[in-house]
Structure 1
Amino acid sequence: MEENQMEKVELHVEGMACGECEAHVNHAVRQLPGIKKVKSSRRKKQTVVEYDPAQVTVGQIRDAVNATGYEVK
């Protein structure tokens, strides 16, 4: 059985102002299937996600972030 290849995406996220904002985004993304790692940085205005593309798409990850009230650019 072949192991799925993990991929990484860096999303530019506007609106995060504090550690709670980062945690809110991280939590929302972790709810999706196939997420291996997620790390948000308000200073860099980004969220970096390692994921299994067989289980989740970048579009679904973007939608999860946007649903938190922050905006993926």
Structure 2
Amino acid sequence: MTTPPDVAGTAALAICESLMLALNDHKILPEREIVGILRDAASAHENDDGKDGHAELHRAVAQLINIIIAGGNSVRRP
């Protein structure tokens, strides 16, 4: 069986999303805190200096996180 590309990244995203939903469902973290965490993560990648040679990857990661924020995937919104 061949492992599809970026299986680790996809698994990590699914796990993190489930954790954020559970934290919100159990009223451990409110939606604004979860969105703040996501914004911080996006900002870290947006502000990356690209010295590691992965500037395109960092831009893509920031873009994906911002799409998740806009889509509400990690918080259950009515």
Q: TM-score, normalised by structure 1?
A: 0.34
Q: TM-score, normalised by structure 2?
A: 0.33
More helix by share: 2
More strand by share: 1
Report which structure shows greater RCO (CA 8 Å, sep ≥6).
1
Q: Which has the larger radius of gyration?
A: 2
